[in-house]
Amino acid sequence: MALDGITLYAVINELKEEIIGGKIDKIYQPEKDEIMLIIRNKGKNYKLLLSSNANYPRIYLTDENKENPTVPPMFCMLLRKYLQGGKLLDIYQIRFDRIALIDIESRDEFENMVIKTLVIEIMGRHSNIVLIDKNSRVIVDSIKRVYHDMSKVREILPGLKYDLPPSQNKINITNISKDVFFESLKLLKGKKIEKAILTLFEGFSPVLSREMTFRSQVNDKYVEELTNNEIENLYFNLSEFKLTITSNNFKPCTAYIDNNPIEFSCIDLKQYINLKFHKNVNEAALTFYKEKANVENIKTRSHDLKKLIEVHLERLYTKLDKQMDELNNAEKSDIYRLYGELITANLYKLDKKINEFKTINYYTGEEIQIPLDVKYTPAENAQRYFKKYTKAKNAVRILTKQIDDTKEEIEYLEGQLINLEQCTLPTEIDEIREELSDMGYIRKKDKNKKQKKVVSQPIHVVSSDNFDIYIGKNNVQNDYLTLRFASANDIWLHTKNIPGSHVIIKNKDSNIPYTTILEAAKLAAAHSKAKNSSNVPVDYTFKKYVKKPSGAKPGFVIYTNQKTLYVTP
């Protein structure tokens, strides 16, 4: 999501308390579209991140340490010239537009006190960071220069006067009245109510608009479909939101789906089930963007591995189909033995020049027609059929073993796809990469290169009965949990005949309650290929009944004395 105008308002309010009156000690430009201001205020150092990234433009205090280029970019040098050592006088917003302005007082080359304004425009692909003179509003420079051929509406170039983006003439929610709302809503007939709210109010994002319609229970309705009671209810929720803004009584949170951050906001997003609340809006923004960056990083790092595994799996699926066809043909070999027996029993009747003969199948009493090759005598034809039968029977034995091996390899690689989906840290991706390299799927890196080994940690949760449950996210963690971490009387769980994680319940010298086993079984199902299914079979047994066969692939074990639960993740 983009940082909307109202959430930006909440961030700015918090920044006022932290950094106003502070001094800019250092300025960095770690990315081509990012500026980091190091601010000293009230005995503390703050890192203020300003980003004009097209996908994630933002402003907030951060604790991240980013690597800076050896040679500072030109815009960074310019900011150091005008702002380094300067005092932050104010940070503010124009209405609820997604534009933050920071007034900074510093000395010019003649030692006169001047005020420059750093403008952070948070507008998707049009985002920018612009330095202007406070009084004249003349542009000094910007992190992205906008020429006439790029925008005929608004150029951003040194020496030009800075103008705010065109106003959209939307309603400021803090000035809303019932009459104005009702009349404005009537003009938007034909629009879905969610879109209408977005059109009407300044600073609203799709997530805030959805939240208002969700709370009012008018999702997916069109404006003209609303009853008077529904409009009243919608106005009530908007008024409540107005009160939240005017009283600065925010309840910041991050919303998650499948442990991935989806949205963050300055208010409680009731439309989502899985929420994490924060002490302030700045922390919510920092958490969201850090976790989002981590998810993107994991996705990027795992993309090539996923493609490689999928290519291997496609080949294995094709190979398995061919092997199954060959096995089906080979399993029909009994007919060759029958042909050989019937030819041998009727040798006295046969002339070597005939290419087929009919006889009675003494097993069924039915007539049967047997093909013969005229190049061979009847006795030689019989021997050829017996050889075909023997070869086919051997093929069944060999193919059965090959099919088992192919299925085992498919299960292994499907498990690795599940493992990739579960990774939350780059080290876990690296462990899978190294394992695939050891298994011969990837060319090994130079062994002489010494690399620091970082061991990743499995997921740890506590059951409702206060028992520790551990879940492996890759085969390194699975083998560690099962073979080294778990004790003999711990409970081991795994989805039955389905690729997934090893799950361990630590036994605290007492009987593990059924509720904990059920919770662990649901977690095992949720961390498997069947995570989107229902009634998933999950086997569980004591760890002492789980063994790893000699030479088995990583993550592969055999077990006995198991019981099975059927659960929905």
pLDDT tier at 104 (50, 70, 90 boundaries)? very high
Task: Identify the CA nearest to 173 among candidates 206, 196, 197.
Answer: 197
pLDDT tier at 489 (50, 70, 90 boundaries)? very high
Half-sphere exposure in the Cβ direction for 275 (13 Å, CA): 15
Mean pLDDT of the chain: 89
Rounded distance between C-alpha atoms, residue 282 and residue 3, angstroms: 11
Q: pTM of the prediction?
A: 0.67
What three-state secondary structure class fits 201? Answer: strand
For the chain, report the end-to-end CA distance as a whole number of angstroms.
Answer: 28
> What confidence score (pLDDT) does residue 260 get?
84
Backbone angles phi, psi at 296, to 5 degrees: -65, -40
Q: What is the pLDDT of residues 413-447, one digit of tens each?
A: 999 998 888 887 788 888 898 889 888 888 776 55
Average pLDDT of the segment spanning 127-155: 89
Residue 10 has pLDDT above 70, yes or no: yes
Taking a C-beta distance cutoff of 8 angstroms, is the pair 404, 320 a contact? no
Rounded distance between C-alpha atoms, residue 170 and residue 199, angstroms: 7
What three-state secondary structure class fits 393? Answer: helix
Average pLDDT of the segment spanning 138-154: 87
> What confidence score (pLDDT) does residue 1 get?
55
Taking a C-beta distance cutoff of 8 angstroms, is the pair 472, 458 a contact? yes
Rounded distance between C-alpha atoms, residue 430 and residue 129, angstroms: 36
Rounded distance between C-alpha atoms, residue 139 and residue 65, angstroms: 30
Rounded distance between C-alpha atoms, residue 334 and residue 392, angstroms: 9
> What confidence score (pLDDT) does residue 87 get?
94
**DSSP label at 362?**
T
> What confidence score (pLDDT) does residue 455 get?
64
Average pLDDT of the segment spanning 35-56: 91
Among residues of the chain, what percentage have pLDDT more than 70?
A: 98
pLDDT tier at 3 (50, 70, 90 boundaries)? confident
> What confidence score (pLDDT) does residue 278 get?
94
pLDDT tier at 448 (50, 70, 90 boundaries)? low
> What confidence score (pLDDT) does residue 23 get?
95
Which residues, in sequence order, are bridge partners of residue 505? 469, 491
Cβ neighbour number for residue 521 with a 10 Å cutoff: 26
Residue 449 has pLDDT above 60, yes or no: no
Average pLDDT of the segment spanning 137-153: 88
> What confidence score (pLDDT) does residue 2 get?
65
Residue 450 has pLDDT above 60, yes or no: no
Quote the tokens at residue 160: 């030009």
Average pLDDT of the segment spanning 541-556: 92
Beta strand spans in 240-346 (E): 253-257, 260-265, 274-277
What three-state secondary structure class fits 170? Answer: coil
Rounded distance between C-alpha atoms, residue 462 and residue 505, angstroms: 9
Average pLDDT of the segment spanning 548-560: 91
Quote the tokens at residue 280: 């302030």
Cβ-Cβ contacts under 8 Å for 501 (sequence gap 6 or more)? 418, 419, 422, 471, 472, 473, 478, 494, 524, 527, 528
Which residues, in sequence order, are bridge partners of residue 45? 40
Distances (CA, A) of 170 to 11, 201, 203: 21, 5, 9
**DSSP label at 66?**
P
Residue 77 has pLDDT above 70, yes or no: yes
What three-state secondary structure class fits 310? Answer: helix
Residue 451 has pLDDT above 60, yes or no: no
> What confidence score (pLDDT) does residue 527 get?
92
Q: What is the pLDDT of residues 147-176, one digit of tens each?
A: 888 877 788 899 999 988 887 788 888 888
Rounded distance between C-alpha atoms, residue 72 and residue 288, angstroms: 28
Name which residue leads in pLDDT, 539 or 146.
539
Average pLDDT of the segment spanning 346-372: 86
Quote the tokens at residue 51: 């980003």
pLDDT tier at 259 (50, 70, 90 boundaries)? confident
> What confidence score (pLDDT) does residue 255 get?
92
Residue ranges per domain, the chain? 5-142, 173-279, 326-455, 459-567
Residue 73 has pLDDT above 60, yes or no: yes
How buried is residue 562: exposed, middle or buried, by Cβ count under 10 Å (0-12/13-18/19+)?
middle
Residue with tokens 């130079």, as numbered in its chain: 446
Rounded distance between C-alpha atoms, residue 12 and residue 58, angstroms: 11
Average pLDDT of the segment spanning 273-287: 92
Give the architecture (CATH level 2) of 5-142: Roll (2.30)
Give the CATH class of 173-279: mainly alpha
Distances (CA, A) of 60 to 92, 100, 123, 333: 13, 11, 16, 74
> What confidence score (pLDDT) does residue 9 get?
93
